[in-house]
Amino acid sequence: MAMVSKSELKDTSLMTTIENQIIETWRIHNRILLSMIKNISGDAMKATLSTRGGRDVARQLAHLHMVRIWRLEPFSKKLKTGLVKFEKGESPEKKKLLEAFEQSGVVMEEYLQYCIDNGGAVPNFKRGVVPMLGYFISHEAHHRGSILLTMKQCGFTLPAALKWGIWEWNKM
């Protein structure tokens, strides 16, 4: 099989397909996170396993959003988009979490497209757009697992949408 140069690959439909898959991967991931938030009860949002004031479920979700903000804030300023922010230690209500994740999900999608359009380069992330996407999904999946375990160990029954819905990528 002959090697294809970067410039030749850029001009093919394969690259367009891969670019679209990068954006779609983010969209699916974000929809799963939004679905998860929608399926967590108000009482479960306050659940924590910490005995020393650690993050409850809502604060873990706020942390995820704030890590997104860390990456997106310079880009959002160019877009003139004011992003929802949470104060350190804030345990936000579900409505505010949904608003924040819907907003940061869209801005992240725009940021991914911006990076793709710039040859995959990501400011202050030397490995590129695909590893950055992997970083964010890995980070958020880690906390998603922690949240589900916290809820389970605190006695909350996990709805099927939480137990199984996070794996339904072909349906999201």
Statement: residue 148 has pLDDT above 80: yes
Residue 172, pLDDT score = 74
- Give residue-wise pLDDT tens across range 6-62: 555 555 566 578 899 999 999 999 999 999 999 999 999 999 998 777 799 999 999
Residue 66: φ, ψ to 5°: -70, -30
- Phi and psi at residue 125, in whole multiples of 5°? -145, 90
Domain ranges of the chain: 40-166
Helices marked H in the chain — which ranges? Answer: 6-10, 13-38, 42-45, 57-79, 94-117, 129-153, 160-163
Q: How far apart are CA 29 and CA 165, in angstroms?
A: 11
Considering the domain 40-166 in this protein, what is its CATH number? 1.20.120
Dihedral sign, CA of 121, 123, 127, 129?
negative
User: Tokens 């998603």 label which residue?
Assistant: 144
Model pLDDT, residue 4: 46
* Structure token pair of residue 139: 């980070």
Helices 129-153, 57-79: crossing angle, 10 deg rounding = 160
Q: Quick: pLDDT tens for 37-48.
A: 999 999 999 999
Q: How far is CA 33 from CA 43, 115, 118, 145, in A?
A: 18, 23, 28, 11
| pTM of the full structure | 0.84
Q: Which tens digits make up the pLDDT trace of 85-113?
A: 999 889 999 999 999 999 999 999 999 99
User: Percent of the chain having pLDDT more than 90?
Assistant: 62
In percent, the amount of the chain with pLDDT more than 70 equals 91
Q: How many CB atoms lie within 10 A of CB 78?
A: 9
**Comparing 78 with 150, which gets the higher pLDDT?**
150
Q: What is the mean pLDDT of residues 157-165?
A: 84
